[in-house]
Chain A
Amino acid sequence: MLFHTWPFYVFFLIFYPIYIATKHTRFSIWWLLIASYVFYAWWNPLFLLLIVYSTLLDYVVVNQMEKSQRKKLWLMISVVNNLGLLGFFKYGVFFTDNVNVLLRMIGLSYQLPAPDVLLPVGISFYTFQSMSYTIDYYRGKIEREASFIRFAAFVALFPQLVAGPIERAKNLLPQLHGVPRVTLQDVTDGMSLFVLGLFKKVALANYLAMFSDQIFSMPDQYQSPALILGTIAFGWQIYFDFSGYTDMARGVARMMGFKLMLNFNNPYLATGLGDFWSRWHISLSTWFRDYVYIPLGGNRSGTFATYRNVFITMVVSGFWHGAAWTFVVWGALHAIGTLLTRELERNQWYRENLPRWVKQLWVYIFVNLTWIFFRAESMSDACLMLGRIFTTGWADPMFPIVALVLIVSVYVYQYLFESKWKTVLTLAPVRIALVLFMIVYLTMFAGTADQPFIYFQF
Chain B
Amino acid sequence: MIKQFLASFQQNTDYAKVPEVPYGSHLIRLSWIEWIIVFVILGLLFHFAPWGWSQIEPFPMQDDFRIPYKLSNDYWLFSRYCEQIKKNQDIFVLGDSVVWGEYVHPEETFSHYLNENEVDHVYRNVGVNGIHPISMYGLLCYYAGSIQNQSVLLHCNPLWMSSPQRDLQVDKEIPFNHPELTAQFFSPVPCYRASFSDRAGIVAERNAPFLQWMHHIRIAYFDNSDMPSWTLEHPYVNPVSTIHFDGFQNSRELRHDPVPWTEKGTKQDFPWVSLDSSLQWKSFQKAVRILQDRGNSIFVLVGPFNEHMLEPESLRQYQSIRDKITAWLKEESIPSFTPSALPSHYYADASHPLKEGYSMLAGALIENTGFKQWRKGISINSF
User: Which among B14, B23, B232 has the highest number of chain A CB atoms within 10 Å?
Assistant: B232
Given contacts A447-B226, A447-B227, contact A262 B21 (CB under 8 A): yes
B383 lies within 8 A of chain A by Cβ: no
A445 lies within 8 A of chain B by Cβ: yes
A412 lies within 8 A of chain B by Cβ: no
CB distance from A418 to the nearest CB of B (A): 9
Which B residue's beta carbon lies closest to that of A29? B8
Q: How far is the CA of A401 from the CA of B8 in the complex (A)?
A: 56
CB distance from A398 to the nearest CB of B (A): 5
Which B residue's beta carbon lies closest to that of A31? B8
Given contacts A5-B197, A402-B227, contact A174 B17 (CB under 8 A): yes
Stretch of B32-40, B136-144, B324-332 at the chain-chain interface = B32-40
Q: How far is the CA of A244 from the CA of B116 in the complex (A)?
A: 61
A261 lies within 8 A of chain B by Cβ: yes
CB distance from A414 to the nearest CB of B (A): 8
Is B197 within 8 A of A179, CB to CB? no
Choose among B16, B199, B236 the residue that contacts A401 (Cβ–Cβ < 8 A). Answer: B236
Which A residue's beta carbon lies closest to that of B238? A401
Chain A contact surface mostly: helix
Choose among A400, A444, A447 the residue that contacts B235 (Cβ–Cβ < 8 A). Answer: A400
Is A24 within 8 A of B12, CB to CB? yes
Given contacts A25-B11, A210-B229, contact A188 B16 (CB under 8 A): no
Is B24 within 8 A of A450, CB to CB? no
Given contacts A6-B196, A431-B29, A436-B42, contact A176 B226 (CB under 8 A): no
A117 lies within 8 A of chain B by Cβ: no
- Residue count of chain A within 8 Å CB distance of chain B: 75
Contacts of A26 in B (CB 8 A): 7-10, 12
Is B25 within 8 A of A266, CB to CB? yes
Q: How far is the CA of A449 from the CA of B28 in the complex (A)?
A: 26
Interface bracket on B: 35 or more
Q: Tell me the residues in window 293-342 of chain B with beta carbons closer than 8 Å to chain A beta carbons.
A: none
B186 lies within 8 A of chain A by Cβ: no
Contacts of B231 in A (CB 8 A): 400-403
Is A30 within 8 A of B8, CB to CB? yes
Q: Tell me the residues in window 415-458 of chain A with beta carbons closer than 8 Å to chain B beta carbons.
A: 417, 422, 425-426, 428, 431-432, 434-436, 439-440, 443-450
B174 lies within 8 A of chain A by Cβ: no
Is A6 within 8 A of B197, CB to CB? yes
CB distance from B102 to the nearest CB of A (A): 29
CB distance from B195 to the nearest CB of A (A): 8
Contacts of A425 in B (CB 8 A): 26-27
Is B28 within 8 A of A434, CB to CB? yes
B88 lies within 8 A of chain A by Cβ: no
Is A247 within 8 A of B12, CB to CB? no
Which B residue's beta carbon lies closest to that of A267? B25
Q: Top 4 A-B pairs ranked by shortest CB distance?
A: A6-B200, A26-B8, A400-B231, A445-B227
B residues touching A (Cβ–Cβ < 8 Å)? 4-5, 7-32, 34-35, 37-38, 41-42, 45-46, 195-197, 199-201, 204, 210-211, 214, 217, 226-229, 231-232, 235-236, 238-239
Can you give 9 contacting A-B residue pairs, CB < 8 Å? A188-B35, A258-B18, A262-B24, A398-B232, A400-B231, A431-B29, A439-B38, A444-B214, A450-B197
